[in-house]
Structure 1
């Protein structure tokens, strides 16, 4: 975001001057994460999760490249190559557990980042493109994580691939040909494993490209903030460096402590026991379940148990599962409230904390539970509220609620009355 008071990049060293004239990479970094990038002064720790998400992506790419050096995408040896990497490759155990737990850490960070956007209205104008690109990143993450879950070729890998790709067969006319095209045959085998490995290796770099667009789109309007009030004067902002670099550094320290605790002390805590058994097409696990970060959408899929007239229950479940994410694309237009932040929207705040959050918690739990009662009924109730929240409650609440008075400026929300900001021209 360009403000008249933002510092300009002025290299002093001769080499930096020469570089800036020919390839302005130092200027780009300075304007993106240095003193040249002005940030609202009132950002809380929920704004650290965007930076942490970038850190997680880098960790996954680095550890994934190392893992790929020792992996063979062949159903006869795939399981053994993972075990060999852990047992015989120097520091292979660290790469494997860092990569596996890094996926979970990535999704924890992203879920918090997304729900921060829900509460503080980060999807509202003029940041719609930032939000839309963020949803695209999440969809790419889901696809990458699913394909990565197949690669160990354990019991849950095989049967998870069979169940999830089988969902495409519910699509009329093109479903079964599409499923066979994805698998390269009629069931998960060598062709499917090769395709999933290739795409799992490729997609993180696609995600990185979309992340760059995401950050680029963010720098045009600038960061949002907990009040939802736009920047009005120089007193509303501080340079990203050193203030938020230090704050992000503290968040990285906390993240690294928790992440290392999982990797070193509980590396298999989030893995399913059946996935430590080699894949056996002749033996179906008692309870097929995806990784924990897919559970809410898996619960929505299983919530549909009865055909609706001519629409099969399986097809409705598939449409609802994908619709649960696609509905996020329309949030900038479903929420008509002129106030961004949920902190100043008392009615919306109640539905968020006592409606959406409990519904998601129920979906998370039921997605990992057996497909039996009462979990199916709980999934149905939670899924019904989930869609009602975005498609019915949110538009109505945004039209009828009376927001609380907003502070005049960001500075006023932090320090009290800001007469200088009131007299200064708007940015």
Structure 2
């Protein structure tokens, strides 16, 4: 059975969200007044308003409605993420108070229109007086009166509905505007992106040098050894000796293929592109000499850059654990945390990992380039826990 709420339930939630937006105007004003001496209270009230928008009116961080036609139309694809705080929270609550008052007026006028329409129909049916429209004598309101007022009433109803929707959209716009970055934040972001770009270029150059070193010191030396063996096979006249040299040449060919396979895995494993992160991490765990457990809880494939960042983070973390920490067990966990993919690598080694070290710094650069974060918890004596969170839209 599907757990998706019905459209009627969505409509009820949307109406409840609108009514709460009107009723919480005094609370919003309290938050504005409390800002100078109780900023925490102001922030909490702003958080409550943000929850009302996201939980009842369907405004989502990605700008995508939550599946309901009614709520999706109300949300109007308005992107919202985060919660305003500090002076921005006070400014948001002040603007939202005005929107709430406007929403109350629109709701009152809409309610008055409904009362008038019901009174006219009641007067036409019963023939009684309808004082609300200045029809004080019985029989003044007839079906002809209702028919004449039906078209203006329909127009007013149309305007009232769009007024209600407009209030909801203005409500979401206030929150979105309060979350827009200011000039200082934009300047900081530009500086961060500039630094990240320089770090990415440096990491790419380091990777190229490492690949060149692997090919030169590993594959190239084995190819030279193979060519020497083949030359000795051509010069050897003894049949038994030729057979032995031929066997050694075949074995060396296998070693070369293994070296090439290792280098290709370090560059970019084909399995990652073809089968996804889960299969690539399973293969990585199988190839690791230390017992490695994998807990993979993603229900669908993440974008390719996210998969790549998570895979190389796990690969580098496992390599460091084997080379430097003396770990006897490693655990890899991949889960979805809201709009983030979280990768966690834990080993039981001696700890003391340096986040500024070459390998971990390269991971941090790769993750930062995707607006992600990396945390390293590695006290002396262990364990070491490396956590990476990458946005996954």
Q: In which range does the TM-score fall when normalised by the shorter chain? A: under 0.3
Larger radius of gyration: 2
> Higher strand proportion, which one?
2
Q: RCO greater where, 1 or 2, for CA within 8 Å and sep 6 or more?
A: 1
Normalised TM-score (structure 1) = 0.19
Normalised TM-score (structure 2) = 0.21
